[in-house]
């Protein structure tokens, strides 16, 4: 309802953005679109944004994007898990599904705001990570802010915000102009970092204003592992494969023509199983799932993996020879967990 701080806030209408996303998804793209709506405002010199406006916004989102909205029942995990935990624990393949999906999140810090993951309307907190934007309009100041946040980050997830921000009172400031100053330097900044940092963290999200000259997509793919299919104890024909806590286990890395992924291009020296990072002790190649593609089977000592009695998921990580990270998760049932007698 007050005066605009900057003309940079003007841009396309919400209905135009939603229509663009609708058209993109209707074309059949098998991708995940993340759409965040915040800083609610009715327009230049408009009246205050209120409850009826929020209801209208929710209605527009459901009307335009309903067939593709990502709801919590689409995610792995059970109903006892918090929706945010199910979301952040999912792989990209889980999120995308068979037809592509849209993850919509809204700021819910207003008294009239509500969200409902069952309907595909998520709170903005689900994408929150360590880091945060610098709120500066000077490139070097923003760079120093992000570098400090990265080197000291201890959270499990880190968000790099390579954005310059118009300052109050600068009514002639334009976000696209600021993006033009910052974006060309993102690849150079990423290349200068030691990843993971001293606390073992990687960069999980990169936020930019406009994607021009950023190479953001290529950087994000490079930094974050690609989800692959694995088969734990592939000789067993069952969904929950037993893992003996006293022995070893085979894990098959499955080649996939759709991704594409050639399992034989995975560097075995980089592959680790479980939280303690067990290394493979033996390997062999075989077409495990009879799809005509050769798969890589690695054997690990379970006691070295850090897998605990009662665990239901085993995680494997590694890198390909061209340095692309991979991650795979398989369902397991632990066995031979009987308690030892004291002193033994």
In whole angstroms, how far apart are CA 86 and each of 2, 91, 158?
Answer: 40, 10, 18
Structure tokens at 117: 């993951």
pLDDT digits (tens, 9 = 90+) for 49-77: 889 999 999 999 999 999 999 999 999 87
pLDDT, averaged across the chain:
87
The answer to whether 125 and 107 have CB atoms below 8 angstroms apart is: no
Collect all residues with Cβ–Cβ distance below 8 Å to 169 and sequence separation of at least 6.
5
Q: Cα dihedral sign for 122, 123, 126, 131?
A: positive
| CA atoms of 40 and 50, how far apart (whole Å) | 9
134 versus 125: the higher-pLDDT residue is 134
**Residue range 120-147: average pLDDT?**
91
DSSP state of 105: E
203 versus 25: the higher-pLDDT residue is 25
Q: Cα dihedral sign for 173, 174, 179, 180?
A: negative
The answer to whether 69 and 25 have CB atoms below 8 angstroms apart is: no
Collect all residues with Cβ–Cβ distance below 8 Å to 199 and sequence separation of at least 6.
153, 154
| CA atoms of 263 and 268, how far apart (whole Å) | 10
Portion of the chain with pLDDT greater than 70, in percent: 92
Beta strand 248-253 pairing with 295-301: antiparallel
Task: Please tell me the predicted confidence (pLDDT) of residue 2.
Answer: 47
| CA atoms of 254 and 245, how far apart (whole Å) | 24
pLDDT digits (tens, 9 = 90+) for 239-273: 557 899 989 999 999 999 877 889 999 999 999 99
Strands (E), the chain: 32-37, 101-106, 121-123, 130-131, 158-162, 205-208, 226-227, 230-232, 241-244, 248-253, 272-273, 282-286, 295-301, 313-319, 325-335
- Confidence label for 341 from pLDDT (cuts 50, 70 and 90): very low
Task: Please tell me the predicted confidence (pLDDT) of residue 93.
Answer: 80
The answer to whether 126 and 104 have CB atoms below 8 angstroms apart is: no
The answer to whether 272 and 251 have CB atoms below 8 angstroms apart is: no
Q: Which residue has the tokens 């070097």?
A: 140
The answer to whether 85 and 78 have CB atoms below 8 angstroms apart is: no
Phi, psi of 65 (to 5 degrees): -120, 5
| CA atoms of 171 and 46, how far apart (whole Å) | 17
């Amino acid at each position: 309802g007050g005066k605009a701080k900057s003309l940079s806030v003007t841009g396309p209408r919400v209905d135009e953005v939603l229509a663009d996303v609708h058209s993109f998804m209707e074309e059949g793209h098998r991708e995940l679109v993340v759409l965040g709506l915040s800083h609610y405002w009715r327009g230049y010199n408009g009246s205050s944004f209120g409850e009826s406006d929020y209801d209208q916004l929710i209605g527009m989102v459901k009307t335009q994007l309903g067939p593709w909205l990502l709801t919590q029942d689409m995610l792995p995990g059970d109903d006892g898990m918090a929706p945010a935990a199910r979301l952040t624990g999912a792989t990209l393949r889980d999120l995308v599904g068979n037809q592509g999906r849209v993850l919509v999140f809204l700021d819910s810090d207003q008294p009239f705001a509500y969200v409902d993951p069952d309907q595909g309307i998520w709170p903005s907190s689900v994408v929150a990570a360590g880091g945060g934007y610098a709120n500066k309009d000077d490139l070097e100041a923003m760079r120093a802010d992000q570098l400090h946040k990265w080197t000291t980050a201890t959270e499990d997830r880190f968000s790099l915000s390579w954005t310059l921000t118009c300052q109050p009172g600068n009514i002639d400031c334009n976000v696209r102009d600021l993006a033009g100053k910052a974006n060309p330097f993102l690849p150079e900044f990423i290349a200068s970092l030691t990843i993971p940092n001293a606390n073992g963290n990687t960069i999980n999200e990169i936020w930019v204003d406009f994607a021009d000259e950023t190479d953001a997509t290529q950087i994000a793919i490079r930094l974050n592992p690609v989800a692959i299919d694995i088969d734990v104890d592939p000789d067993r024909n069952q969904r929950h494969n037993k893992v003996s806590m006293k022995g070893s286990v085979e894990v098959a890395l499955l080649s996939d023509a759709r991704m594409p992924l050639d399992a034989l291009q995975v560097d075995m020296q980089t592959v680790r199983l479980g939280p303690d990072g067990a290394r493979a002790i033996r390997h062999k190649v075989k077409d495990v799932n009879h799809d005509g593609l050769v798969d890589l089977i690695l054997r690990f000592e379970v006691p070295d993996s850090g897998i605990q009695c009662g665990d239901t998921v085993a995680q494997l990580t590694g890198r390909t020879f061209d340095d692309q990270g991979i991650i795979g998760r398989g369902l397991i049932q632990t066995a031979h967990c009987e308690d030892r007698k004291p002193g033994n």
